Structure 1
Amino acid sequence: MKSRYVIIASALFLSVTSFAQKNEIKAAEKALKDGKSDEAITILTAAEYLTANAPDAEKAQFLFVKGNAYLDLSNKKVDADKNLILAAKAYQDLIAAEKVTGKSKYSAQAATSIAEIRGKLINGAIDDTKVDKNAQGAEKLYQAYLLEKKDTINLYYAASTYVNAKDYDSALKLYKELKDLNYSGKATYYYAVNKVNSQEDFFTTAVDRDRLVKMGTHEKPRTENVPSKRGEIYKNVALIYVQQGKVDEAKKAVSDARKANPEDTSLILTEANLYLETKDMDTYKKLISEALTKNPNDVDLIFNLGVISAQAKNNAEAEKFYAKVMELNPKYTNAYINMAALKLEDEKNIIEAMNKLGTSADDMKKYNTLKKKREDLFRSTIPYLVKAVELDPKNQDVSKTLLNVYSALEMTAEYKALKAKM
């Protein structure tokens, strides 16, 4: 009799608990409907303990209202980032709960909201990075990745953004996660211009794009091959170790990467760059030679060798590599831009030398010599800048540089012609 009483009492307790939670959910729904999202959260937080013994259906409803309330607060700019992530967590818990029961009353709506939140996080991250809020942007990208782990590109961008924020510990953690996933980032993207709005649309497959091109709804199809990012990942891991004073770990990281990916030429550049950073020029030159032997006509590789040589202040080598790129691919815009920039580096030294001169006859003679040297330097950049503008007319920085050169050389007609095109 006694045990039966206990069972009845327990059942009564569960019934009361369920009844209480239903009332709390209704109260929270009413507050949310009235636009009082903060009040809804207060009600739900106070009733949180009741969910432990609540029926599965009520747990799902509870989490759905909770997610909606947090999302509404975020939309109202109340602790927007924090509440956006809390909303996503509630929706994820909801989907997990309904998956266990096999019922999915709210899961579809929750999934839609999660997709919306991911979009908000990614767009928010882009806005943050534009105003140098890299740490905040990186966190949003990482949260977007956690919401959909298939989109590993967000994990990669989060790690890169942490590097920009100089939060090397967080960046290293995410890079290690990318390594564990064997992420490469290598991909092929397909695009075509929509004739209705003149905007370029993205397609996951060439078949989908080409079908619409044949139907006549799209035009100007193009394919973009995105190279592997594995080399960059290992390079950044190595450079972070260098930044932390862990040179041996940096060398091991790159060495392990090359063993795991022997065909990835970018890793040779990564290792070369590491030895450049640590001033081991002999090993650096050896690796450069190895890279060239493996791919003597790879324009991307040769261009990067030019960049590394320029960083090492070996301008003669850099010029040689950029010239080789132009020879192999006359439309490689960045080779022309970098060649011009390399030559313009000498202008600073010339200006400093001119400013140190006095007004004596001897100094004036030196001044005129330096002036001619500066003008010759400007003239040497014109062919490269003109070609770069021809290949990329929308690049305002290059056009402005060429305008400055024309102005310095008093090439009025050329200046006016270029200015008219901008």
Structure 2
Amino acid sequence: MKSKYVILASALLISLATFAQKDQIKNAEKALKGGDAQGAITILNDAENMVANAKDVEQAQFYFVKGNSYLALADKKVEESKNLSLAADSYKKLIEIEKTSGKQKYSVQAAASITDIKGKLINSAIADTQANKHVEGAKKLYDAYVLDKKDTINLYYAASTAVNSQDFDLALPMYEELKKLNYSGKGTMYTAVNKASGNDDSFANAKERDMAVKLGTHEKPKTEAIPSKRGEIYKNLALILVQKGRTEDAKKAIADARKANPDDTSLILTEANLYLETKDFDMYKKLVGEALEKDPNNADLVFNLGVISAGAKNNADAEKYYLKAIEINPNYTNAYLNLSALKLEAEKPIIDEMNKLGTSAKDMKRYDVLKAQRESVFKGVIPYLKKANELDPKNEDVSKTLLGVYSALEMTAEAKALKAKM
């Protein structure tokens, strides 16, 4: 007889616990509706231990209310990133529970909330980077990637943002994950000019863009190839590994990448840059030769060789490659820009010496020589700046630099005409 009483007592305890849990969920819902999201979370946390023994429908309701409570806190900017992630975790648990049980009550709303959270994380990350809070931005972008791992571009942006913050410990695992995924980012961009705003709008595909043009809301459709980002990814991965003293790991990472992507010429440049960083000039020259032999008329390839050479302070080679890129593609804006910047570097030592001169006859004579040299530098750079301005008239840096050159050379008419366009 005693055993029966024990069974009945146990059943009663379970029943009481179930009622208590239901009450706590209802109390949490009431607190949330009253605007006390933190209070709702406190109530639910107290009931957490009983959730595992609850019915599927009650477990789902529990995590639904909890997710909504965390999301409400995030909307109030209370530990926004943390609470967005916690909300997403709750919704994911809910979806998994309902998937297992076969009863869908909250999953559709939860999935919509996860999509909303992903958008909020990305928008918040953009705001962070604009405010130079790159670490915070990188973490939010990574959280957005974790929410939807099919959208790998968020992982790429997270890694790039972490590098911009110089937080290599944060960036390294992200780049290693990109390597594991063999991410390239290669694709096609479909754009058209919005007639109302004058801005370039992007479209998911050519059909959507062409429909917008047909409807008359957009004009000047363009289709552009998005180049592979593997070279940049492996370059940053290698540089981080080198910075951490893991040079052999860096070499292996690039060697593995080249084996997996034999036709990706950007990886040859990355490997060349690594050997340049480690001062293995013979290997560097060999790889540069290999790259040019593989694709001698690739303007992007030749331009990137110029960038690498400029980074190594080998200005003669950099100039040669930039000019070659322009020869291959006369409308290569960045080649004109980089060539201009390269040539303007010659101004700094001239200015430094001019500032040190006194007022003696000898110094004044030397000043005149230096002034002529400076003017020669400016005159030499004008054709490239003018071409860059012609190709990219909206680029304020180009316009301001060209205006500064005109002013220094007292080319008043040219400066006035350029100002009228700005």
Residue 241 of structure 1 contacts residue 247 of structure 1 at CA under 8 Å; is this kept in 2? Answer: yes
Instruction: After TM superposition, list the pairs within 5 Å mapping 1:130-169 onto structure 2.
Output: 130-169=130-169
Residue matched to 1:346? 346
Residue matched to 1:190? 190
Residue matched to 2:307? 307
Give 2:213's aligned amino acid.
V
Distance 1:77-1:414 versus aligned 2 partners, 3 A rule: same
Given the two structures, how large is their TM-score scaled by the length of structure 2? 0.96
Distance 1:311-1:198 versus aligned 2 partners, 3 A rule: closer
Q: CA deviation at 1:182?
A: 1.7
Give 1:328's aligned amino acid.
I
Distance 1:200-1:102 versus aligned 2 partners, 3 A rule: farther
How far apart, CA to CA, are the structure 2 residues paired with 1:234 and 1:19? 57
Residue matched to 2:56? 56
How far apart, CA to CA, are the structure 1 residues paired with 2:199 and 2:399? 25
Q: Which is worse superposed, 332-341 or 314-323? A: 314-323
How far apart, CA to CA, are the structure 2 residues paired with 1:360 and 1:60? 87
- Three-state SS of the structure 2 residue aligned to 1:53 is coil
Q: Which is worse superposed, 69-78 or 294-303? A: 69-78
Residue 17 of structure 1 contacts residue 53 of structure 1 at CA under 8 Å; is this kept in 2? Answer: no
1:271 to 2:271 alignment = yes
Deviation string 1:15-73 (CA, Å, 9 cap, x unpaired) is 22211111111111111111111111111111111211111101111111111111111
How far apart, CA to CA, are the structure 1 residues paired with 2:108 and 2:31? 23
Residue matched to 1:372? 372
How many pairs does the alignment contain? 422
How far apart, CA to CA, are the structure 1 residues paired with 2:60 and 2:343? 66
Residue matched to 1:334? 334
Residue matched to 1:124? 124
Residue matched to 2:388? 388
How far apart, CA to CA, are the structure 2 residues paired with 1:341 and 1:159? 28
- Three-state SS of the structure 1 residue aligned to 2:233 is helix
- Three-state SS of the structure 1 residue aligned to 2:220 is strand
How far apart, CA to CA, are the structure 1 residues paired with 2:95 and 2:200? 35
Q: CA deviation at 1:199?
A: 5.4
Give 1:413's aligned amino acid.
A
How far apart, CA to CA, are the structure 2 residues paired with 1:319 and 1:355? 28
1:172 to 2:172 alignment = yes
Deviation string 1:329-360 (CA, Å, 9 cap, x unpaired) is 12111111111111100001111222333333
How far apart, CA to CA, are the structure 2 residues paired with 1:79 and 1:120? 13
Q: Which is worse superposed, 244-253 or 341-350? A: 244-253
How far apart, CA to CA, are the structure 1 residues paired with 2:219 and 2:14? 64
Distance 1:196-1:2 versus aligned 2 partners, 3 A rule: farther
Structure 1: tracts of 5 or more residues without a match: none
Given the two structures, how large is their TM-score scaled by the length of structure 1? 0.96
Give 2:182's aligned amino acid.
N
Q: CA deviation at 1:214?
A: 3.7
How far apart, CA to CA, are the structure 2 residues paired with 1:302 and 1:171? 28
Deviation string 1:89-132 (CA, Å, 9 cap, x unpaired) is 11111111111111111111111111111111111111111222
Instruction: After TM superposition, list the pairs within 5 Å mapping 1:250-265 onto structure 2.
Output: 250-265=250-265
Residue matched to 2:29? 29
Q: CA deviation at 1:195?
A: 5.1
How far apart, CA to CA, are the structure 2 residues paired with 1:151 and 1:231? 20
Q: CA deviation at 1:367?
A: 1.8
How far apart, CA to CA, are the structure 2 residues paired with 1:58 and 1:418? 69
How far apart, CA to CA, are the structure 1 residues paired with 2:360 and 2:33? 85
Distance 1:198-1:399 versus aligned 2 partners, 3 A rule: closer
Q: CA deviation at 1:198?
A: 5.5
Deviation string 1:269-304 (CA, Å, 9 cap, x unpaired) is 001111111112221111111111111010100110
Distance 1:200-1:17 versus aligned 2 partners, 3 A rule: farther
Q: CA deviation at 1:378?
A: 0.2
- Three-state SS of the structure 2 residue aligned to 1:253 is helix
How far apart, CA to CA, are the structure 2 residues paired with 1:135 and 1:196? 36
Distance 1:212-1:408 versus aligned 2 partners, 3 A rule: closer
Percent identical pairs in the alignment equals: 68
Structure 2: tracts of 5 or more residues without a match: none
Residue matched to 1:105? 105
- Three-state SS of the structure 2 residue aligned to 1:382 is helix
Residue matched to 2:10? 10
Residue matched to 2:230? 230
Distance 1:395-1:193 versus aligned 2 partners, 3 A rule: closer
- Name the Cα RMSD after superposition: 1.7
How far apart, CA to CA, are the structure 2 residues paired with 1:212 and 1:359? 67
How far apart, CA to CA, are the structure 1 residues paired with 2:405 and 2:198? 36
Q: CA deviation at 1:235?
A: 1.1
Deviation string 1:345-399 (CA, Å, 9 cap, x unpaired) is 0001111222333333333222211111110110111111111111111111111
Q: CA deviation at 1:189?
A: 2.0
Distance 1:115-1:278 versus aligned 2 partners, 3 A rule: same
Residue 403 of structure 1 contacts residue 418 of structure 1 at CA under 8 Å; is this kept in 2? Answer: yes
Q: Which is worse superposed, 272-281 or 355-364? A: 355-364
- Three-state SS of the structure 2 residue aligned to 1:224 is strand
Give 1:159's aligned amino acid.
A
- Three-state SS of the structure 2 residue aligned to 1:74 is helix
Q: CA deviation at 1:153?
A: 0.7
Q: CA deviation at 1:10?
A: 3.1
Residue 188 of structure 1 contacts residue 223 of structure 1 at CA under 8 Å; is this kept in 2? Answer: yes
